[in-house]
A and B are shown apart, each in its own frame.
Chain A
Amino acid sequence: MTDKPTQNTADMQKMGKHFTRILLGIAVILAILELFLHRHGVAPIEDSFMFPAIFGFLAFMFIVQVGKWLRLMIMRREDYYEGGESDD
């Protein structure tokens, strides 16, 4: 049940690299399309260059970072409730 350098791990790393390349490829295509296609949003700020991309990237980073802080505040050991609750 522990990490070990198996064939499976190597395959997953290879897949991860392919996945990253595909993502980057799509990102580049989206950036190029942004230059040629008019994209409009609900709010004026949404019309700025690559706004949804920047918003999505930063929102994701923010969520993960807040999650790290929250771990310190609201994360407890697995048997946290078990000690305080009887089975009656």
Chain B
Amino acid sequence: MTSLPPGLLMILAAAALPFVPHVARQMMMLGAIALSAYGLMLGAGTHLVWDVLGFELILYRADTLSFPFAVIFHIAAALNVIYSWHDKHWSQHCAALSYAGAAIAALHAGDLITLFIWWEATAVTSVFLILAAGTPTARRAAMRYLIFQVLSGVLLLAGAAIYEANTGSIAFVAMTLGDTATWLIFIAFGIKAAFPLLNGWLQDAYPEATVTGTVALSAFTTKLAIYALARGFAGTEYLILIGAAMTALPVFFAVIENDLRRVLAFSLNNQLGFMVVAVGIGSELALNGAVAHAFVHIIYKALLFMSMGAVLHQVGTIKASELGGIYKNMPFTMICCVIGAMSISAFPLFSGFVAKSLTMTALGDTGIMWAYFVLLFASAGVLEHSGIKIPYFAFFAHDRGFETTEAPLNMRVAMGIAAFLCIAIGVFPAPLYNILPYAVDYHPYDASHVMGQMQLLIFAMLAFVVLIRMRLYPPEVPSVVLNSDWFYRRLAPQIGRPVLRAVMLVWESFLCQMRRFIGAFWFFTYKLVRSPAAGPTIPGPAALVQLILLLAVLSIGYVAALG
């Protein structure tokens, strides 16, 4: 059982879920996750290889890089089962469990073909979490999401094929960016990691998914891409530039976004930027930072999405312009949200602090100061949109007169566990540090570092207080913010429609001419066979066509014989 690739058991269990009653189904899901996690006990090494058509597919390879990702993916999958316990229908559970299983299996792929298979499996399984929302908007977003995810897979497969032709190997190992193959693979990873201009699918689709679906989505796809980048392209300097842009740009979009789950989607993009920069640095400390950041990020981002999901579930809206004043109605959710907000803002004693410090220190060591200050600026940005905006506009701000109650017990349990982990990792980072890819000799809690971070955060919060008190903080208004998806949702159709119309006009004209020509041909043929000169030897048009065909075959045969 343990030699099966981790995650595969979860996929097999997902196939059986429709036939199992509700509570047993939830227990079965937790059991499948536990069994899959038990498979990690095999430790580092190559545990399952399958020879297919001359290719050596490595289905289960584990090492110090895959292990921390595998651990947190299992934790996220279990949290999602608890959070969605109240949902009695099997469909979303089936999608979420198989999605998590596919992502975990992908972590253990030792070759590019196996990676491609699981890469696409995450796309196909996760799209149902968006479709399950059941709205026309969600359906359209799901299709756009699927196009991008499948495109990423196709690029990965194309890259893998060229890579195999060039090197004779399909092993998924460290690559040097340079030729067509590696660029294709790099872009495939970049789509799922939501690189600038390739990020539209993330903010477009995640907030359209169901309450529980968004929580599952936030954990796996993008972090799988971070893992793939860390495995394939660690130390690629382009990533520092790309990652820095990813940290800074979403900050400005998040500040004006009205949908709080979309704010979190922009925030997710910003956090991915920190990890991408760390991968780009490529040193042992930086890679530890990227992995640690991914680990804690999955928990606090899930916590924030869970708290906003709970609000949406109870109140029926997640728009900042409509929310507010429910801190007394949902105190537990509010506290969990604040813990998530403090974690993502990297307050000392919270998980974000012990992870982000690694990346910032590694970046400082490189001497790339512009990137260092961009990330410092982005840290203030994180505080603005995730640290303050989310809890403030959801639970405080204005009293809207909502009469609501706390979220269901299962949601509170899941949020409670995630909140506990955020604090536990922040206070005792050693267990996290112990599972990082490289040995860690790093102490985040030195007085200088803590004081600097506290100054940054407290004075940034004071800036918020000043703006609110002076009524200079802009009010939230019902709106949509244009993102990179605008290019294919609005610009492309606007340019494309006239072009398409012109092409269709030319095509119709061509078809019309062809019809005329065919008509004239048959008219001429008819005339020919009916003319007195043709005589009785040609009985009709069919015989004429046969004659022409025979002549053509004879001519071809004659030419071939000559050749």
Contact = CB atoms under 8 A, between A and B. Distances in A.
Nearest to A10: B399
Contact of A64 (B325, B369, B447, B473): B473
B481 interface: yes
B401 A33 contact: no
Contact of B448 (A37, A55, A58, A64): A37
B399 A61 contact: no
A30 to B, nearest CB: 5
A9 B372 CA distance: 41
B503 interface: no
Nearest to B467: A64
Given A8-B399, A39-B451, A60-B383, A55 B480 contact: no
A46 B453 CA distance: 12
Nearest to A65: B472
Contacts of B44: none
Contacts of B453: 52
Interface stretch (B85-93, B406-414, B457-465, B538-546): B457-465
A84 B460 contact: no
Contacts of A84: 489-490, 493-494
Summarize B's interface: helix, strand, loop or mixed: helix
A32 B292 CA distance: 33
Q: How large is the interface on B (under 10, 10 to 19, 20 to 34, 35 or more residues)?
A: 35 or more
Given A52-B456, A63-B384, A64-B473, A57 B140 contact: no
B474 A64 contact: yes
A59 B256 contact: no
Interface string A27-50: 100100110011111110010001
A42 B372 contact: yes
A23 B464 CA distance: 11
B377 A59 contact: yes
Interface string A10-21: 011001100110
Interface in B481-502: 481-482, 489-490, 493-494
B455 A52 contact: yes
A59 B140 contact: no
Summarize A's interface: helix, strand, loop or mixed: helix
Interface in A43-88: 43, 46, 50-61, 63-64, 66-68, 70-71, 74-78, 80-82, 84-85, 87
Given A4-B399, A61-B467, A75-B256, A56 B455 contact: yes
Interface string B356-386: 0000110110000100110011001101100
Interface residues of A, number: 58
A86 to B, nearest CB: 9
A23 B458 contact: yes
A27 B459 contact: yes
Contacts of A70: 252-253, 255-256
B489 A34 contact: no
A71 B255 CA distance: 10
Given A23-B461, A27-B459, A78 B478 contact: yes
Given A53-B456, A78-B478, A87-B136, A63 B381 contact: yes
Interface in B292-325: 322, 325
Contact of B479 (A24, A27, A77): A77
B452 interface: yes
A53 B480 contact: no
A77 to B, nearest CB: 7
B481 A74 contact: yes
B463 A9 contact: no
A56 B347 CA distance: 13
A41 B377 CA distance: 15
A81 B259 CA distance: 15
Nearest to B451: A39
Contact of B451 (A37, A42, A85): A37
Listed from nearest, the 7 A-B pairs whose CB atoms lie closest are: A42-B364, A59-B380, A67-B255, A60-B463, A56-B456, A56-B460, A52-B455
Given A16-B396, A61-B463, 14 more contacts: A4-B399, A12-B327, A41-B452, A42-B360, A42-B364, A50-B455, A52-B455, A56-B459, A64-B463, A71-B474, A75-B477, A75-B482, A78-B480, A84-B489
5 contacts: A3-B399, A52-B459, A53-B458, A55-B376, A85-B489
Interface of B: 136-137, 139-140, 251-253, 255-256, 322, 325, 327-328, 360-361, 363-364, 369, 372-373, 376-377, 380-381, 383-384, 396-401, 447-448, 451-465, 467-469, 472-474, 477-482, 489-490, 493-494
